[in-house]
Amino acid sequence: MTVKDKTILLVEDNPDDQALTLRALKKNNITNEVIVASDGVEALDYLFGTGRHAGRDTRDLPALVLLDLKLPKVDGLEVLRRVRGDPRTRLLPIVILTSSKEDRDLVNGYSLGANSYVRKPVDFTEFMEAVRQLGLYWLLLNEPPPPGTASAK
């Protein structure tokens, strides 16, 4: 699986989970560039070219955002709300990747426009499998929205 030009934005505060996710991607031969944001603010900065990422070309959007829900500063649902509320990122594929399987998280996630909701399994073997399938689906099988349509309202 080598799709170089498609970047992945991983929004994850837990360094362990960051490491494990990156490992899982690597082990599954997903060599796309992975940008890691450790909290919601950083994720939003990256996507909208603000703060630390000021000046970034915001037309260069990731092919996939893996979004944890429980995040410091701005939590995952808020990130989702703002991304969906902005015409530039309205159609961005976002997969919620979280430990929770609480009903309200599922309902809120889907209500705010998450494309998918995956629960992180504790068993690393299962986690590997989950990451493999996510990569396979979102980076290869899924046709992303055509470039330039993101801002179309």
Partner 1 sequence: MYTRRDSLPVRMVRRSLSIRYRLPLLICGLLLVVAIASSWAVYIEVRRAALLAARERLANVTRQLSDLLRASGRQMTAQARALAAHPSVVRDLRSPGRQARLPALAALDSAARRVEAIVAIELWAADGIRRLRTERPAPPFEPETARELFNTLGDADSAIVGPYRLVGDSLYYSLTARVLDQGEMLGYVVQHRRITGSSESARQLRELIGSGAALFVGNQRGDLWTDLARPAPPPPVAVSGRGDSLLQYEREAGVWELASAAPIPGTAWMVLTEFPRAPVLAGARRVAWRIVFVTLGLLVLGSAGAWALSRSLTRPLADVAAAAEAIAGGDYAKRMELDRGDELGQLASAFNTMAASVQDSVGKLRAAADRYRRLFESNPNPMWVYDLQSLWFLAVNDAAVVHYGYSPDEFLTMTLKDIRPPAEVPALLENVARPTGTIERAGTWVHRKKDGTLIDVEISSHELEFDGRNARLVLAHDVTDRRRAEEEIRRLNAELEQRVVQRTAELRASEEQFRSLAVTANDAIITGDAHGCVTYVNPGAERSFGYSAAELLGNPLTLLMPERFQEAHRRGLARYLATGEARVVGRTVELSGRRKDGTEFPVELSLASWSRGGEPSFAAIIRDITTRKETDAAIRRSASELEAANKELEAFSYSVSHDLRAPLRGLDGFAQALLEDYTQVLDETGQDYLQRVRAASQRMAALIDDLLDLSRVTRAELRREPVDLSALARGIAADLHKSAPKRKVEFVIPEDVSAHGDRRLLRVVLENLLGNAWKFTAKRSGAAIEFGVTDHDGERVYFVRDNGAGFDMTYADKLFAPFQRLHAPADFEGTGIGLATVQRIVHRHGGRVWAEAGVNRGATISFTLNATPEGRA
Q: At closest approach, how far in Å is the CB of 27 from partner 1?
A: 8
Q: What strands, in cross-sheet order, belong to the sheet with 64-67?
A: 34-37, 8-11, 64-67, 94-98, 116-119
Q: Cβ distance 65 to 34 under 8 Å?
A: no
17 part of the interface to partner 1, by CB under 8 A: yes
Nearer to partner 1, 71 or 94 (CB): 71
Of 58, 51, 6, 15, nearest to 36 by C-alpha is 15
100 part of the interface to partner 1, by CB under 8 A: yes
> Rule CB under 8 A: which of 43-82 touch partner 1?
69-70
Which residue of 102, 107, 140, 149 would you call a contact of partner 1, by CB under 8 A? 102
Which residue of 23, 56, 73, 84 would you call a contact of partner 1, by CB under 8 A? 23
Q: Which one of 41-49, 54-62, 95-103, 129-137 is the stretch in contact with partner 1 (CB under 8 A)? A: 95-103
Question: Measuring CA to CA, how many Å separate 137 from each of 53, 116, 132?
Answer: 28, 11, 9
Alpha helices (H) in 39-93, listed in sequence order: 40-48, 76-85
Q: Cβ distance 40 to 78 under 8 Å?
A: yes
Q: Which one of 14-22, 48-56, 84-92, 135-143 is the stretch in contact with partner 1 (CB under 8 A)? A: 14-22
**Could you list the residues that contact partner 1 (CB under 8 A)?**
14, 16-17, 19-20, 23, 69-70, 98-103, 120-125, 127
